[in-house]
Amino acid sequence: MAALASLNEVSKEILRYYLTYPDACETAEGLARWRLIQVHVERTVRETNEAVVDLVRRGLLTKTTRRGVEVLFMMNRERAAEARTLVEDPPAGKTDGDR
């Protein structure tokens, strides 16, 4: 058991993968790609959650819940014009330095 306690996080992730998929047979590159996808998905979900919470707080999105369904987000149509100006490119001839 002492050997398991000394595993680093990457080793633990890989071992969990093989425990979940005991018939898996992967190259080191395949495992690296799997880890990269996992990390990317987790980061993207976290960043997306933070962004939609901010957009709801600002009143640009609304959220609704329905029984048996995850929280749903929708455009606040009353603020659509404001939202449009926030995502548009800067006017022609203007750069970020001009703001």
16, 24 contact by CB (below 8 A)? no
The pLDDT of residue 36 is above 70: yes
Query: Tokens representing 93?
Result: 């001839």
Give the CA count within 13 Å in the CB-facing half-sphere of 96: 0
pTM of the model: 0.63
User: How high is the pLDDT of residue 90?
Assistant: 72
Q: What percent of the residues of the chain are helix, what percent strand, and what percent coil, each to the nearest 5?
A: 60, 15, 25
User: pLDDT tier at 1 (50, 70, 90 boundaries)?
Assistant: low
Greater confidence (39 vs 55) lies with: 55
Give the percent of the chain with pLDDT over 90.
Answer: 69
The pLDDT of residue 72 is above 80: yes
